[in-house]
Structures are given as C-alpha cells and as structure tokens.
Amino acid sequence: MPDDFATPLELRIDSLIARCRGAGRPATRREVEDLYTEGCAEALGAEARCAQIDKKLGAADRTPDLAAERAALQGRLTTLRAQLRHLRAAVDWAEEEHDLDDLLRLD
C-alpha cells in the first residue's frame, strides 16, 4: 500500500486489515510495520496534546473548547490504541512466521 498521508490513519489501518481478511493481496511486513510506527507516533502526539490541555485545564484558563478538544483526543486515542494492538499482533505474527520459515529451511 503506498503512503497516503491525506487519508486518516484509522482508515488506512482499517483498509489494510480488511484487505488482509478478505481475498485481497496480503499485507507485507513493511506495510504493517510502517503503519504501526506511524500510529505510535500519532498516538504519542495526541497524548502530548492531552497533557498540554490537562495543564491548561488545571490552570485558570478553563474553556469549553479545551475540554471538548481533550474529549475528542481521548476518543481518538482509544480507537487508535485498539487498531495499534491489531497491527502489533500482525507484526508479531509475521516475525513468528519468518522465524518458522527459517527454521524449516534446514539446508
């Protein structure tokens, strides 16, 4: 799957998972690892923004906009973390399969 940074990460992850579950072309290890890495970076960015908002909410400048942004980020993080768990499992599975293939090639 080519990089498509215009498409939200969650949609690209869903698309990759659907393609692998269907009769389509299986994902390469690199595709899965790239999406996993990108997802982790995005999750860290969202967590950092949540921490910034928490500091502001703890200060005197509480605004409904900040609280709404924090709630939206938290919802996105929940979804993203669930998808990342699937991708991590795929990476682990690929590593196990790769190791098994090497083991079976006892030349």
Q: How far apart are the first and last CA of the chain?
A: 34
Banded model confidence at residue 47, pLDDT cuts 50, 70, 90: very high
Question: What is the rounded CA–CA span in Å between residue 77 and residue 72?
Answer: 9
- For residue 61, the model assigns a pLDDT of 63
Q: What is the mean predicted confidence (pLDDT) over 74-90? A: 86
Q: Look up tokens 């991590």; give the residue.
A: 88
Whole-structure pTM value = 0.68
pLDDT the model gives residue 48: 93
As a whole number, the mean pLDDT across the chain is: 76
**What pLDDT digit, counting tens, does each position of 3-29 carry?**
454 568 888 888 887 777 766 667 777
Structural domain spans, the chain:
9-104
Nearest to 22 by CA among 30, 12, 14: 14
In this predicted structure, what is the pLDDT of residue 101? 38
Collapsing DSSP to helix, strand or coil, 5 comes out as coil
Pull the structure tokens for residue 103: 């083991």
